[in-house]
Amino acid sequence: MTHLRYLTAGESHGPSLTAILEGMPSGLALSIADINHQLARRQKGYGRGGRMKIETDEVEITSGVRHALTLGSPISLLIQNRDWKNWQEEMSVASSAVPPKRVVTRPRPGHADLVGGIKYDFRDLRNVLERASARETTARVACGAIARRLLEEFDIHLAGHVIAVGNIRSQAPTATAMEILAKTEDSPLRCLDSQAEARMLALVDEAKKKGDSLGGIFEIVVDGLPPGLGSYVQWDRKLDGKLAQAILSIQAVKGVDLTVGEGELVCLIGANGA
Amino acid sequence: MTHLRYLTAGESHGPSLTAILEGMPSGLALSIADINHQLARRQKGYGRGGRMKIETDEVEITSGVRHALTLGSPISLLIQNRDWKNWQEEMSVASSAVPPKRVVTRPRPGHADLVGGIKYDFRDLRNVLERASARETTARVACGAIARRLLEEFDIHLAGHVIAVGNIRSQAPTATAMEILAKTEDSPLRCLDSQAEARMLALVDEAKKKGDSLGGIFEIVVDGLPPGLGSYVQWDRKLDGKLAQAILSIQAVKGVDLTVGEGELVCLIGANGA
Amino acid sequence: MTHLRYLTAGESHGPSLTAILEGMPSGLALSIADINHQLARRQKGYGRGGRMKIETDEVEITSGVRHALTLGSPISLLIQNRDWKNWQEEMSVASSAVPPKRVVTRPRPGHADLVGGIKYDFRDLRNVLERASARETTARVACGAIARRLLEEFDIHLAGHVIAVGNIRSQAPTATAMEILAKTEDSPLRCLDSQAEARMLALVDEAKKKGDSLGGIFEIVVDGLPPGLGSYVQWDRKLDGKLAQAILSIQAVKGVDLTVGEGELVCLIGANGA
Amino acid sequence: MTHLRYLTAGESHGPSLTAILEGMPSGLALSIADINHQLARRQKGYGRGGRMKIETDEVEITSGVRHALTLGSPISLLIQNRDWKNWQEEMSVASSAVPPKRVVTRPRPGHADLVGGIKYDFRDLRNVLERASARETTARVACGAIARRLLEEFDIHLAGHVIAVGNIRSQAPTATAMEILAKTEDSPLRCLDSQAEARMLALVDEAKKKGDSLGGIFEIVVDGLPPGLGSYVQWDRKLDGKLAQAILSIQAVKGVDLTVGEGELVCLIGANGA
């Protein structure tokens, strides 16, 4: 197998998100439903903004798959913005007779607004936040859903669950990825400890009322990984470093803790409230 | 400016071609017309297959540009396949009740059919030729049109012209890129020597009658390049090597000759008839 | 400035460590003393094995610098192993008449021994531990010392200090990098809180007696960074992700926490005792 | 097998050349003699400068090989400059009390002197020519010798021979790599046609008398390559492009022509006299 690589593109309120994923082997069974299932999981969660509710993201595969099998060629993914009709003028590619109305000139703390505006020389910080937005993770989830399909062929499964929100911590014992998937699918916070979860939900409600948000910690567990991934021979081939880059590149994630359990790789990942 | 990179995706008869181009600075004026102009130039030429005539490629910019200025974020480009309605079942992403009809089992010499079939384990070589097709260059031309826009801001211009087809050679003296652009826009072969061109056209007609094709040589001239591009410090940073990779990665190009004229960079590039 | 890149090479008990660093601009003042100063700082610390004491690492610059100024070309660094005479047969490049004596067949927990042996098909796990060793960080420190020289030209300074060993935590208030450098140079653990440090030292002694080791946390503070490093436009260009990869690629580091203070970038980095 | 990569470092009259090659599998038989054999072949040739004669390059392997087998870790190579004693002050890493004597202020046509001086801001163009020198290919040949060792395990062999010098062309029929190796080892120009070679030698002598040099063409033939190297799926994964970059990155090479023969890959590579 060749090295996997991917690029994503798309503004949060633009017409669509695009991703190109390359390096998947040929002959892998892949359907739109495999990806849409993960996109729907991404849209769950408690205490989110209204946008997550009105949209149900659906992917189009526009290359790299034929008759439900991958071709080895780049897989391109398109996710339409369902709210595009309301943003066509504001986010128009062409110059517009109407000046933009939803201009953002006050940078929000904890976001890329200010540094992005300085770096790219923008007065309207919408030009930053449209791309720095967590909406971009939709395209990553779509690519990740394909990577999951490949891992499934080798009986490798991964799952995440929330172990802390604010100062409330799950007391549930560690579980395998398959157990986590089975137990958390209906949990609003994907938390294995339902008593802790009830208190977490209350804390979220409280923060929301104040117009605040909360940090938390989630754990990712992977079942069935073979030994020998990555290598110690050079700094940029170490698995720990690659995982850390992937995880810290996610919007709002501020820390990672990698610990190897018995036959499992566990990441504790903290996100700041902002 | 950061490093430019791009990926293309798309099968020749799939629903669309996609490209993501990243690394363009923000604030560059860019319109769809800039790109469509180059796509139309690509579709000119003499002796091509019928497909080039029925389609007029048009690009959609789906990210990275707002109100006619680049945002510094990845620019995604979409070029619909105008003939898609005739290929929807054959090239369907989903598995199809109808078995494919346009199956290719006999590999064509001089193409990737055979090695692609071996490498990716295909019986239907359509799975290879759909991606190995020269149709893919459409996405590259679209990305290149954006790079041209950037170069224009620095008064850097580039143009190509045909200097040989089969054994017939243009006798026209060297010209600047701006002169070549002005003189060859209406020439069916983009040749500066109209007498040689008449003989080249006859040779193409003759080859076509025999079901054959012809090799040729084209020259690319760049005006206005500053000194100091690339570097001698490491093998993979040399400009000659980077240009050679870019050019030899084009379908059917089999050779390159780099010679630096006075204030100009000249490439002679040979393509085999196949 | 072009992208910086570097590769290191060398086995722990081989003849020497080598690094090639490329991408430094030309005309930067650089001396051997700049690098040796950082190598000596690396060799400080409390509770280390005997090896750290007998060797005083010294670098040779074998390319990329002339008359105390960088040339823009790759900088190669060589650090001789002072103990090489005792390892010449054991680690000989050529095949040896004498069979190896210091063969390692029992993999140590928490190290790369087992997975390295499986991945690269070794019976003698010395072949793994010689490269997976923390000795390799010597070459990284040497490269980092050159990067520091560049940053100093822009009045950017960085410093690390220990904030926890085992369950003992420094109570000292946050400081700037310049303050940390001034205050911790004579501290055996580079800790700003001398009372906590005394207890940390006792804890280290205790662990050592048991043949055990301890985890801890250190903080890196950077003064004077300009805004706009990294970019939000693509997952692999985010500064957080790049920092996380660099840090988690260090032997024994298992976690990272990135928080941006006022005008400062702070990393909390945890290392497991193993 | 992971991706191979390598970096070279070293000024032509500096203390040594260094290379780090990474990505070779473990367990490959490798000796210093394998590399020195290729370094000696590099030093043959007709009409070269005096330097090629006085030196016999010898490599030291300083990492990545133990008891004649590769370790999978980076292989570092060191080639001492035998003439270093005469250049110690001129090329000193430390600042020198004695000002440089062999200062180069007149850029040579056809070399990197002028653009390098502009790009890196040098008055003494020795700072450019020391790195832009063809001496750097010594380090590449050393890396290439290791790659050859790997290919030999798969019965893949490659050889080059000269097919043109100035306007004189070899009339010898094509041969396999093994035949070329057998027949050209004692030929001063590695030419299969001894009659043409005699005329080529006379032409070289003539050019030398005039203080001139000559262009030429050499062909590289590879025996035993399996199908499916490289890929058509993305522009930067095409074998033709990668080969072209590697070849055009060699000093003085100005063109490449890739044609696939029966079971063989043939490159015609032109070098300009300068």
Instruction: Report pLDDT digits (tens) over C90-129.
Output: 999 999 878 889 999 999 887 899 999 999 999 999 999 9
CA distance D258 to B257: 12
D1-153 shares its CATH topology with D155-274: yes
For residues A243-258, one letter each, b for 16 or more C-beta atoms within 10 angstroms of the residue's C-beta and e for the rest, the string is bbbbbbbbbbbbbbbb
pLDDT at C138 over 70: yes
Nearest-CA neighbor of B11 among A62, A70, A9, A8?
A62
pLDDT at A17 over 90: yes
Burial of D7 (0-12, 13-18, 19+ CB in 10 A): buried
Average pLDDT, chain C: 90
- The pLDDT assigned to D64 comes to 98
| 3-state SS, residue A70 | strand
- Torsion angle defined by CA atoms of residues C201, C205, C211 and C217, in that order, rounded to the nearest 10 degrees: -10
CA distance B175 to B191: 12
Shortest distance between the Cα of A62 and any Cα of chain C, in A, equals: 21
Please name the chains neighbouring B, where neighbouring means 3+ C-beta pairs under 8 angstroms: A, C, D
D155-274 CATH, one of 3.40.630.10, 1.20.1560.10, 3.60.150.10, 1.10.580.10: 3.60.150.10
Q: Does C202 touch chain D (CB under 8 A)?
A: no
Read off the tokens for D189: 């120009």
Shortest distance between the Cα of C73 and any Cα of chain B, in A, equals: 5
Nearest-CA neighbor of B240 among B249, B230, B248, B250?
B230
Nearest to A233 among D74, D233, D237 (CB): D74
Q: Which residues of D touch B116 (CB under 8 A)?
A: 228, 232
Please state, in angstroms and as integers, the Cα–Cα distance from residue A164 to each residue in A129, A134, A190, B91, B234, following that order.
Answer: 28, 21, 11, 47, 49
Question: Residue A119 — pLDDT band, cuts 50, 70, 90?
Answer: very high
pLDDT at C243 over 50: yes
Q: Cβ distance B252 to B134 under 8 Å?
A: yes
In chain B, which among 218-247 make CB contacts under 8 A with chain C?
Answer: 231, 233-234, 237
Average pLDDT, chain A: 90
Look at B73 and C233 and tell me if their CB atoms are within 8 Å.
yes
Q: Which H/E stretch holds residue B146?
A: helix B137-153
- The pLDDT assigned to C174 comes to 83
Look at C10 and D76 and tell me if their CB atoms are within 8 Å.
yes
Q: Does C255 touch chain A (CB under 8 A)?
A: yes
Mean pLDDT over C225-230 rounds to 90
Taking every pair of C-alpha atoms in chain A, what is the biggest distance, in angstroms?
A: 62
Give Cα D238 distance to the centre of its chain: 23
> How many residues appear in chain A?
274
- The pLDDT assigned to B269 comes to 62
Residue of A nearest to C274 (CA): A259
pLDDT above 90 as % of chain C: 74
CA distance B235 to B214: 34
Q: Cβ distance C222 to C78 under 8 Å?
A: no
Shortest distance between the Cα of A134 and any Cα of chain B, in A, equals: 15
Q: Residue for token digits 């395998």? A: A176
Higher pLDDT, C44 or C15: C15
pLDDT tens by residue, C179-197: 999 999 889 999 999 999 9
pLDDT above 70 as % of chain A: 91
- The pLDDT assigned to D182 comes to 95
Q: Which residues of C touch D26 (CB under 8 A)?
A: 120-122, 127
| Domain ranges (residues) in chain B | 1-153, 155-274
Count other C-beta atoms under 10 Å from residue C240's C-beta. 24
Shortest distance between the Cα of C193 and any Cα of chain B, in A, equals: 42
Q: Does C194 touch chain D (CB under 8 A)?
A: no
Q: Which residues of C touch A7 (CB under 8 A)?
A: 234
Segment among A45-54, A191-200, C206-215, D177-186 with least mean pLDDT = A45-54
Read off the tokens for B65: 């540009």
Look at C74 and B233 and tell me if their CB atoms are within 8 Å.
yes
Q: How many CB pairs under 8 A join A and B?
A: 146
Q: Which residues of A touch B60 (CB under 8 A)?
A: 15
- The pLDDT assigned to C273 comes to 45
CA distance C266 to D234: 40
Shortest distance between the Cα of C15 and any Cα of chain B, in A, equals: 26
Q: Which strand ranges, in their side-by-side order, compose the sheet holding B59-63?
A: B5-9, B16-22, B75-80, B59-63
Cβ contacts of B271 within 8 Å, gap of 6 or more: B215, B216, B217, B218, B252, B253, B254
Residue of A nearest to C232 (CA): A132
Residue of C nearest to A227 (CA): C115
- The pLDDT assigned to B45 comes to 80
Look at B240 and D246 and tell me if their CB atoms are within 8 Å.
no
Architecture of the domain made up of B1-153: 4-Layer Sandwich (3.60)
Burial of B154 (0-12, 13-18, 19+ CB in 10 A): exposed
The 8-class DSSP code of residue C235 comes to G
Cβ contacts of D86 within 8 Å, gap of 6 or more: none
Residues of chain D with pLDDT under 70: 1-2, 48-55, 260-274
Please name the chains neighbouring D, where neighbouring means 3+ C-beta pairs under 8 angstroms: A, B, C
pLDDT at C140 over 80: yes
Q: Does C137 touch chain D (CB under 8 A)?
A: no
| ipTM given for this complex | 0.94
Read off the tokens for D46: 């007709």
Look at C96 and D67 and tell me if their CB atoms are within 8 Å.
yes
Look at A234 and D74 and tell me if their CB atoms are within 8 Å.
yes
pLDDT tens by residue, B121-137: 999 999 999 999 999 99
pLDDT at C48 over 60: yes
pLDDT above 90 as % of chain A: 75
Residues of chain B with pLDDT under 70: 1-2, 48-55, 260-274
